[in-house]
Amino acid sequence: MEPSNVLIALEEWEKWRSRKTKLESRLEKLHREREALRAEHEAVKRELAVMREAMLEPIASRRDVQEFPPHGLGRGMVDAHA
């Protein structure tokens, strides 16, 4: 192989090696961003669950008072216990 061909091959190899390194670096950055977004998403889901529980808590406590008749009663059905 001629020296000029060897130099061309080395330059080509360096070009592809550099491209590979840049892509690996970009993939690592994207992975870190993805993990950060995933963590943020989980935190938002947890906060929504807490807010939902806080909103449903007063409703659940009112159910103990039995403001509404049992299921089926008062909806055109005859009460068998009456």
Band of residue 64 on the pLDDT scale cut at 50, 70, 90: low
pLDDT at 68 over 60: no
In a domain, 77, yes or no: no
Question: How many domains does the chain fold into?
Answer: 1
Residue 50's domain spans which residues? 1-61
In a domain, 9, yes or no: yes
In a domain, 69, yes or no: no
Please name the residues in contact with 73: beta carbons below 8 A apart, sequence gap of 6 or more.
Answer: 79
In a domain, 75, yes or no: no
pLDDT at 63 over 90: no
pTM of the model: 0.56
In a domain, 71, yes or no: no
pLDDT tens for 28-44 read 999 999 999 999 999 99
Instruction: Give yes or no for a contact between 79 and 73, defined as CB atoms under 8 angstroms apart.
Output: yes
